[in-house]
Structure 1
Amino acid sequence: MKKLLLAGLIALSSQFAAAETNTQSIDPEFAKIESMVKANNMTGAYQALDKLAKQGNAQALYNLAYLTQTGQGTAKNEKKAIELYQQSADKGYPVANYVLGKNYITGSLGLPTDINKAKQYLGKASSQGFDDASIDLAVLLFSENKPESDKAGLAKLDPLIKKGNYQAIHAKALYDISLGFKNKDEKSVQTGLTSIQDLAKKGYIPALMAVGNMFVNGNIIPQNLPEAKKIFAALAKENIPQAKESLAVVDKLMAEQAKGGSKAPAKKS
């Protein structure tokens, strides 16, 4: 799994670099490194990345940081990984800024929880065109519950929504629902719900999870545990994180309801 994740990160980095330059082809050195990863030659991948990193290659620094963070091809060292991510970020690599921002949100990799620094790094990645950073930054801004922050967050999401970015549409939908409950505005809740349901119909996994949870909670739409079970069971087969746990919760609730239902007639007789 780690091997596949790293391969994905390298591929992502390569694709992003290509998107930035448009006319330049992907560095063949990274194609070689990805081949090493696929062959499970993590030591070779680390050594090749280390060589490029020493030449000041920001992409190599980023991937070297990930290997160091996870202990693949080298000893696990989170402190060193942060230093490498920072070096990559200092050279303007968007994904490195994004990773630092995410870790300042969660207070992981030895970093303190620092929302201001998180916004700073996510802001840099966002300004460099990294869409995931724009969305996470918008969510952070929404959490401040201030009109000016809401306005800034919506401004981050708007261009992505216009491009049809599912993640941005989902974030806006959750914002609409939350705002609707806060202001007792049924129209806002319905707008958000419709967006999420549309995304779920298109197979967008976070939206499917959200709809499943709505069926369980029954606070936005009527409770429907069989329908929730159907959703979570399908996602669990795809090994989607949290789906198995959600499925277990639904099974427990259904069992409790069935048990309560079976007792009811006995009390009446």
Structure 2
Amino acid sequence: MKKTLCALLVTLSSMSLFAEAPAVDPAFSKVQQLIQAKDFTNAYKELEQLSKAGNSQATYNLAYLTQTGQGTKQDNKKAVELYQQAGNKGYPIANYVLAQNYASGGLGLTKDAAKARQYLEKASSQGFDDATVELAVILFAEGKDSSDKQALQKLDPLIKKGNYAAIHAKALYDISQGFKTKKEAPVKQGLASIQSLAQKGYIPALMAAGNMYVNGNIVPQNLPEAKKIFEALSKQNIPQAKESLDVVNKLLADQAKNPPKPAPNAKAKS
């Protein structure tokens, strides 16, 4: 169960990368036209003017273009500096990007869990919901009652406004607590939440449901159903879906070679 839960939490965290960024400022209409025309050099110059005027989103976009080397020379060090400037100006997704890169060692940064958490907390305090959910997942992973309490407090306002990621994180927590305390009610509650999210097409919940059908630790194993889920997600190029589908296909092939033997007392149907 512990391995299953950890895998689901990893899925949840990875899906945060697909979060929707804050709304685009109308001042970016010219920049958008230049980017659509693939004129990144002039788009970069336009963003520089907006950034100098104090536009934090422009500074964030400069950081991204510098990171990818579009419209300017690729420079990770400068990109980090620009992300920091954007974050300090109040653009939360810039702090979230820094958190991810300190966690992974990207952008030439040395892995630093403390700094990753620091930037995650900063993004959360600036109102970036995905950062708040990710912080809650980290707190749950600490396995302390006090940390669980903090995590639930962070998730509660997001759950009340219908944030799918927060509902999903709480559902996984409920399931783990149910197994830990050997109480059926939290497990049922968590499963109901995941099933509801999956029906709404929420990808992390679909991945979680697929993993549950494969492992058979929480719900009865159902490889054909897991295959349907992972096939659909693979067509959307969802990370980890293709690998999960390969695992399911191998398990189905093994079952076909070695079908389960009927129970000794089972009677053949006439």
What is the TM-score of this pair, normalised by structure 2? Answer: 0.83
> Which residue number in structure 2 is paired with residue 155 of structure 1?
153
> Which residue number in structure 2 is paired with residue 3 of structure 1?
none
The C-alpha deviation readout for 1:69-90, integer Å capped at 9, x for no partner, is 1222223222211111011112
Q: Distance in 2 between matches of 1:74 and 1:233?
A: 40
Q: Distance in 2 between matches of 1:243 and 1:115?
A: 27
Name the aligned partner's letter for residue 12 of structure 1: A
Match of 1:12 among 21, 33, 46: 21
Q: Distance in 1 between matches of 2:181 and 2:113?
A: 26
> Which residue number in structure 1 is paired with residue 223 of structure 2?
225
Map 1:60-79 onto structure 2 (within 5 A).
60-79=58-77
Match of 1:105 among 103, 106, 109: 103
- The 8 Å contact of residues 102 and 116 in structure 2, kept in 1 or not, is answered as yes
TM-superposed CA distance for 1:120, in Å, is 2.1
TM-superposed CA distance for 1:184, in Å, is 3.0
> Which residue number in structure 2 is paired with residue 23 of structure 1?
none
Name the aligned partner's letter for residue 191 of structure 1: Q
Name the aligned partner's letter for residue 121 of structure 1: Y
* Corresponding residue SS for 1:206: helix
What is the TM-score of this pair, normalised by structure 1? Answer: 0.83
Change (3 A) 1:39 1:181: farther
> Which residue number in structure 2 is paired with residue 137 of structure 1?
135
* Corresponding residue SS for 1:12: coil
Name the aligned partner's letter for residue 48 of structure 1: E
Does structure 1 residue 38 correspond to structure 2 residue 72?
Answer: no
> Which residue number in structure 1 is paired with residue 80 of structure 2?
82
Q: Distance in 1 between matches of 2:238 and 2:118?
A: 31
TM-superposed CA distance for 1:143, in Å, is 1.6
> Which residue number in structure 1 is paired with residue 207 of structure 2?
209
Change (3 A) 1:55 1:187: same
Q: Distance in 1 between matches of 2:176 and 2:35?
A: 43
> Which residue number in structure 2 is paired with residue 246 of structure 1?
244
TM-superposed CA distance for 1:124, in Å, is 2.0
Q: Distance in 2 between matches of 1:205 and 1:99?
A: 21
TM-superposed CA distance for 1:132, in Å, is 1.2
Q: Distance in 2 between matches of 1:49 and 1:187?
A: 53
The C-alpha deviation readout for 1:97-123, integer Å capped at 9, x for no partner, is 221222222232222333332232222
Q: Distance in 1 between matches of 2:154 and 2:94?
A: 20
Q: Distance in 2 between matches of 1:116 and 1:258?
A: 49
TM-superposed CA distance for 1:195, in Å, is 0.7
Q: Distance in 1 between matches of 2:230 and 2:252?
A: 14
Q: Distance in 2 between matches of 1:101 and 1:185?
A: 36
Q: Distance in 2 between matches of 1:85 and 1:42?
A: 19
**5+ long unaligned stretches in structure 1:** 1-7, 16-25
Q: Distance in 2 between matches of 1:101 and 1:176?
A: 27
**5+ long unaligned stretches in structure 2:** 1-17, 263-270
The answer to which structure, 1 or 2, has the higher relative contact order (CA under 8 A, 6+ apart) is 2
> Which residue number in structure 2 is paired with residue 19 of structure 1?
none
> Which residue number in structure 2 is paired with residue 115 of structure 1?
113
Q: Distance in 2 between matches of 1:121 and 1:201?
A: 33
Name the aligned partner's letter for residue 133 of structure 2: I
Aligned length: 245
The C-alpha deviation readout for 1:143-200, integer Å capped at 9, x for no partner, is 2222111111111110010001111101111121222233333322222111101111
Map 1:188-207 onto structure 2 (within 5 A).
188-207=186-205
> Which residue number in structure 2 is paired with residue 124 of structure 1?
122
Name the aligned partner's letter for residue 195 of structure 1: S
- The 8 Å contact of residues 21 and 93 in structure 2, kept in 1 or not, is answered as no
Higher helix share: 1
Query: What is the alpha-carbon root mean square deviation over aligned residues?
Result: 2.2
TM-superposed CA distance for 1:240, in Å, is 1.9
- The 8 Å contact of residues 206 and 229 in structure 2, kept in 1 or not, is answered as yes
Q: Distance in 1 between matches of 2:168 and 2:145?
A: 20
